[in-house]
């Protein structure tokens, strides 16, 4: 390389260094300091969410999203310091984000619903619930889907947007349920005796809660029976065992003490038509 060409290149480098050197150094400092500040903010955010018992799934998403957003801001600030026009870059990113949003509209709806579910926790793992027509135990609540194991031991995967858009019945929320049962006796039987038998069965069952107290009362004077309503309060896990056991105990007790459980019947009166 000739000395004249060398001097020319050196002059160009000096001019570039004078014009852009400080800007490049400033951009590098912005990147370094920005990353340090982001790390401190993310660490503080994690501690804050852990202290306030935020769901781990939400915590992970929020920290990742915040880190990416802050890092993008720092990079744009560094490029702007160098002299790069960032307006067009922001416009392109905005248009791309809008297009992706339209393409993933359903997934974003599930995602937003998932954030609501894990934040407000209307249901949680282990709860017995009725959601979107399915009854079962909540196995897991994730960002996009909720997993429910039905009473038939089937696994149902429900999009979170459907979970939040429909009514949610949480049978486990109050810790106990009222078990509604009805038993009929004949009109010829002593209803006081029948009521005493039902009360004794309820009082002798340790699974029946004392508070709230159970109810045994005459509900309906039906066509062929006097119907009693029996309403004990039990834990969620004891609901069906108490229901089935009580039905069996009532039948055996009524049979043993001569109380009749009537079956539907109808009296038919026939009239003989006389000839003319």
**Rounded distance between C-alpha atoms, residue 54 and residue 121, angstroms:** 10
Under a CB-based contact definition with an 8 Å cutoff, are residues 80 and 24 in contact? no
Token duo for residue 9 = 């290149």
**Rounded distance between C-alpha atoms, residue 216 and residue 181, angstroms:** 10
SS3 224: coil
Question: pLDDT tens, 146-197?
Answer: 999 999 999 999 999 999 988 999 999 999 999 999 999 999 999 999 999 9
| Helical (H) or strand (E) element with 155 | strand 155-159
The structure tokens 């029946």 sit at: 208
**Rounded distance between C-alpha atoms, residue 224 and residue 251, angstroms:** 18
Question: pLDDT tens, 200-257?
Answer: 999 999 999 999 999 999 999 988 899 999 999 999 999 999 999 999 999 999 999 9
Residue 269, pLDDT score: 76
Please give the model's pTM, rounded to 2 decimal places.
0.63
**Rounded distance between C-alpha atoms, residue 141 and residue 156, angstroms:** 12
Q: What share of the chain is helix, strand, coil (3-state, %, to 5)?
A: 55, 20, 30
Under a CB-based contact definition with an 8 Å cutoff, are residues 264 and 223 in contact? yes
What's the distance, Cα to Cα, between the start and end of the chain in Å? 143
pLDDT mean across residues, the chain: 84
**Rounded distance between C-alpha atoms, residue 183 and residue 261, angstroms:** 8
Residue 154, pLDDT score: 95
| Helical (H) or strand (E) element with 227 | strand 226-231
Pick one of 1.20.1250.20, 1.10.3720.10, 3.30.70.120, 1.10.287.1260 as the CATH number of 3-103.
1.10.287.1260
Under a CB-based contact definition with an 8 Å cutoff, are residues 127 and 136 in contact? no
Question: pLDDT tens, 50-101?
Answer: 887 766 666 776 787 788 888 888 888 888 877 777 676 666 667 666 565 5
Residue 206, pLDDT score: 95
Q: Where are the alpha helices (DSSP H) in 175-238?
A: 191-204
* Chain centroid offset of residue 87 CA: 41
**Rounded distance between C-alpha atoms, residue 242 and residue 167, angstroms:** 27
Pick one of 3.40.50.360, 3.90.226.10, 3.30.565.10, 3.30.70.100 as the CATH number of 176-256.
3.30.70.100
CATH topology of domain 124-170: SH3 type barrels. (2.30.30)
Domain coordinates in residue numbering, the chain: 3-103, 124-170, 176-256
Nearest in space to 205 (alpha carbons), one of 248, 173, 171: 248
């Amino acid at each position: 390389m000739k000395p004249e060409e060398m001097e020319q290149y050196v002059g160009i480098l000096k001019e570039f260094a004078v014009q852009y050197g400080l800007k490049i150094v400033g951009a590098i400092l912005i990147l370094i300091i920005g990353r340090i500040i982001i790390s401190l903010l993310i660490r503080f955010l994690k501690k804050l969410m852990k202290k306030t018992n935020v769901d781990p799934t939400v915590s992970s998403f929020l920290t990742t999203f915040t880190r990416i957003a802050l890092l993008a801001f720092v990079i744009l600030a560094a490029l702007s310091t160098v002299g790069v026009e960032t307006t067009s870059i922001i416009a392109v990113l905005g248009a791309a984000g809008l297009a992706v949003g339209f393409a993933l509209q359903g997934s974003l709806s599930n995602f937003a619903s998932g954030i609501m579910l894990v934040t407000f926790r209307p249901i949680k793992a282990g709860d017995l619930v009725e959601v979107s027509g399915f009854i079962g135990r909540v196995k897991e609540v994730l960002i996009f889907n909720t997993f429910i194991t039905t009473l038939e031991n089937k696994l149902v995967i429900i999009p979170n947007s459907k979970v939040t858009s429909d009514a949610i019945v949480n049978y486990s929320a109050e810790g106990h349920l009222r078990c509604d049962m009805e038993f009929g006796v004949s009109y010829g039987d002593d209803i006081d005796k029948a009521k005493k038998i039902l009360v004794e069965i309820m009082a002798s069952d340790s699974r029946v809660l004392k508070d709230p107290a159970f109810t045994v009362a005459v509900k309906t004077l039906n066509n062929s029976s006097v119907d009693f309503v029996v309403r004990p309060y039990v834990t969620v896990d004891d609901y069906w065992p108490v229901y089935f056991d009580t039905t069996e105990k009532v039948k055996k007790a009524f049979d043993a003490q001569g109380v009749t459980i009537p079956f539907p019947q109808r009296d038919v009166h026939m009239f003989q038509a006389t000839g003319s």
